[in-house]
Amino acid sequence: MHAYLSQSHCHLPISIPAFGAWIYRRRLEVGLSSGRAAEAAGLNLTEWQALEQGWVPTTDDNLLRSIAGALEVKFDDLDYVIAPLVAHFAAAAE
């Protein structure tokens, strides 16, 4: 299990609802249930639900690659979605 519930385990503990909404919409676009998407990404259902609520696993590229694969997008496309959101919320926290 990945450290998603206690986000203090991440270097950048970030929860971004816009990211979760994007994950949710993309999952629907590719026609996956939450359970199938979680399985394809190597996550349990609770972890996938955390993604759709905005949890951003910013420090684990392998996990991000798995998520991108499940959503049938390139890793760079997923990073393109995450990077501006992370930068925005990191700047706002300063």
75 pLDDT higher than 50: yes
- Domains of the chain in start order, with CATH, are 15-93 (1.10.260.40)
What is the tens place of the pLDDT at every residue in 15-44? 788 889 989 999 999 999 999 999 999 999
User: How confident is the model at residue 76, as a pLDDT?
Assistant: 80
From 66, 65, 81, select the one nearest 25 (Cα to Cα): 81
d(CA 45, CA 25): 17
Mean pLDDT, rounded, for 84-88: 68
